[in-house]
Amino acid sequence: MFTEDLNQPQCEAVMYNEGPSLIIAGAGSGKTRVLTYKVAYLLHLGLAPHQILALTFTNKAAREMRERIALMVDAEQAKRLAMGTFHSVFARILRTEANLVGLKSDYTIYDTADSKNLIKSILKEMSLDEKIYKVNLILSRISSAKNNFIAANLYAGSEHVKQDFLMQIPRVKDIYSTYVQRCMSANAVDFDDILLLTTQLFKEHPEVLEKYQNRFQFILVDEYQDTNLVQFILIKSLAEKNHKICVVGDDAQSIYAFRGANIENILKFTKNYPEAKLFKLERNYRSSRNIVAAAGSLIAKNRRQIPKNIFSEKEEGDKIKILPAYSDVEEALIVSNKISDLKNKFGCDWNDFAVLYRTNSQSRLIEDTLRKRNIPYVIYGGLSFYQRKEVKDVLAYIRLILNTDDEEAFKRVVNYPIRGIGDTTILKLSSTANLHHVSLFEVASNVLNYALPVNAGTAAKLKSFVNLINELKSLESTMSLYEFAREILLRSNILQTLNEENTAESESARENIEELLNSIHLFEDMSREEGRDGVKLSDFMAEVALLTDMDLDKNVETSRVTLMTIHSAKGLEFKNVFVTGLEESLFPSIHAMENDTELEEERRLLYVAITRSEEHCFLSYAKSRYRNGSLQYPSRSRFIDDIDPRYLEFPTDKNMSQKPIDFSKRDESFFNSFSKPQLPKRLVPISNNPKQITNNNTNLSVKEGMRIEHERFGIGTINRIDDTPDGTRIYVDFETSGSRVLLLKFTKFKILS
């Protein structure tokens, strides 16, 4: 019963229960199957369900395991297992022992919104400026402390205080202390408290710890590589008496350091448990041999890891295809074209495709190209680009500047960033506006004339906001679209607010806003090349409105291409996977490039991405990409060159192909050729002359039938040249970007033949 569906390493891992064990479960190696069978086997040996503690990171994982176990043993036994997430299991323990930590058993669990509201109240009481002591940042600091087992009374002596001073938020220690006191007074805990207080409970009350040590005769932990310090202490405390513990994980898939996960927990397991037995599940049942071998050669470059030899016995399969692109625009086009080609060639379902990226902001161009190709898609674990809060905030500012009567835009931004104009004031504005049949902005502009019932302080804040909008409105005609959008962000303090918050969430929001700026810049540039001079911000907004309308279409078929970050993709699998943006400073992230520990985590992230693939895997990168408002020329990611070239397929086009690079012996001349604009040599503005244009510097002529290389659209053929009142226009058929009509005087390209 317990061996017939298992391979030998799986069987050995299931049946060893004499002491601590570490099961290294490579990608696609049947980890869930092993955990399921191990619990069933323990029940078979005579352990009672309540004596088996199984800890997971998600309710979904716990539910799936319980359902599988129920099919193998008595369903009632499965129901009585002590199985669930860390928080659900220890919340039950904490509720039972609540009085020992100063709580009542009916305590409330605060969610994130509750915690933020409490912190807002504390900041107000302490007269601290929310623009400096940002709620999200404060909550992040408190959470980090709790996850590192630093209680409020210990915070003042920790390294966190030094960091707070550097971040110019020295009162965090006082806020933390008050926050804890207020939670206790309210008989409430937050999610982090559940683990922290249980850890303190076990430490301060050894008799309670012993009770649960005796109860839980065997402990299993899933995804052990994702545990933090508090979770490590909890597990170690419970296992200290019996040493009957089995942890399952994969150090090669440790990618959540930003959430507090500590890879040392899995790397040092055998040091913490010297008698532990190590099992390795090395057979990958998911992916083809080429994909597995390629991923293995990549992760082999990490120095700090548990050695393993992951293999597949499936078909050899296709090599991983490298997709270079001239620009981020062309990269998105190439990906969408490949998806269509594969669907047509193999009869795939849209659900068989996933496009993965390092940061959320990268989804914009991919979304745009999929829409234009009428390819249905869904954003996994998030919103479509133009539906993200920070993007909608900026667009609302633009809408209000263009149309001060826009009520919804006014409500969205009048108090963002925080100006002290609360809901009560907005309600008064709405009532007064409705009474006089005028806009909210009109009332805010004439508080005295409309007798708005607010105090002098609120009136001054409204006046300041109105002045801001009017000043921005007056600047619109004096700047380019990009410059004007940037001015909105600067004068409204949106970017400053996000930069000061300094959290993972604010960083993602800032990246999305920068990408919105890039889209405005690109819209402006392409309009100029296509001969549409004098485009306005209203033209851009019209285009965005059309895109967002499509986003909201409820009639899209249920089968869709999945778009997601690599972090969101962990644990999932797809027949066809595209990993985009393989460029230096993007992937690996610029923050990781000078830090070996972070660089190794970035390499693990790509390993996770590649191992999501069953049959086909594509790695793409762009030679130019709009970032931070300018066209940049990044180098190809070093990670591509970490992969054994035997498992890669490079393009045959000599203009696109690059040889593998040994990053230990970097040829700077090679990198410079891609990292810096080469305008004098590569991208030559051509003078205005129909039919045949000669460039004085290169003595090259442009004529019909000529092949060119455009910095964004790639390679194409000029099939027509016309003289128009606006200047010479060239009609170009691009290989991936379709047909384009470009105004020659604004177009930069390289002549190929």
Which of the residues 314, 612, 627, 729 is marked catalytic?
612
Helices (H), 75-218: 75-79, 86-96, 112-125, 135-147, 152-155, 159-166, 172-185, 191-204, 206-215
Catalytic annotation on 226?
Answer: no
- DSSP result, 699-734: --EEETT-EEEETTTEEEEEEEEEEETTEEEEEEEE
DSSP state of 687: P
Is residue 723 part of the annotated active site? The answer reads no
Distance CA 399, CA 538 (A): 8
Contact (CB, 8 A) for 679 and 619? no
| Of 170, 117, 182, 177, the residue nearest 142 (C-alpha) | 177
Give me 397's structure tokens.
Answer: 């500012």
Catalytic residue among 223, 390, 583, 601: 223
Q: Spot the catalytic one: 3, 12, 32, 392.
A: 32
Sign of CA dihedral 482, 503, 174, 115: positive
Q: Exactly one of 253, 359, 632, 747 is catalytic; name it.
A: 253
How far apart are alpha carbons 150 and 480 in whole angstroms?
50
**Residue 672: how many CB atoms within 10 A of its CB?**
12
SS3 274: coil
The residues pairing with 248 across neighbouring beta strands, listed in sequence order, are 23
Question: Helices marked H in 45-101 — which ranges?
Answer: 59-72, 75-79, 86-96
Contacts of 580 (CB under 8 A, 6+ apart): 331, 332, 335, 355, 356, 357, 362, 366, 620, 621
- Per the annotation, the verdict on 692 as an active-site residue is no
Contact 61, 161 (CB under 8 A): no
Query: 3-class secondary structure for 29-44?
Result: CCHHHHHHHHHHHHHH
Rounded-to-integer distance, Cα 242 and Cα 462, Å: 66
How far from 452 is each of 47, 168, 445, 728, CA to CA, in Å? 72, 38, 11, 58
- Residue 448 CB-density burial (10 A; 0-12 exposed, 13-18 middle, 19+ buried): exposed
What is residue 318's DSSP assignment? P
Residue with the two structure tokens 């999932």:
572
Any residues with CB less than 8 A from the CB of 240 and at least 6 apart, and which? 213
| Contact predicate 252/26, CB 8 Å | yes
Task: List CB contacts of 405: < 8 A, sequence separation 6 or more.
Answer: 439, 441, 442
Query: Which is the catalytic residue, given 31, 38, 314, 338?
Result: 31
How far apart, in whole angstroms, are the C-alpha atoms of residue 224 and residue 23?
Answer: 10
Q: How far apart are the first and last CA of the chain?
A: 69
The verdict on whether 500 is a catalytic residue reads no
Question: 632: helix, coil or strand?
Answer: strand
- Greatest alpha-carbon span in the chain: 92
Note if 549 is an active site residue: no
Cβ neighbourhood burial of 604 (10 Å; 0-12, 13-18, 19+) = buried
Q: Which of 97, 164, 192, 222 is catalytic?
A: 222
Residue 612 annotated to the active site: yes
Tokens describing residue 180: 């804890």
Alpha-helix runs per DSSP H in 422-503: 423-436, 440-445, 456-475, 481-492, 494-501
Residues noted as catalytic? 31-32, 222-223, 253, 612
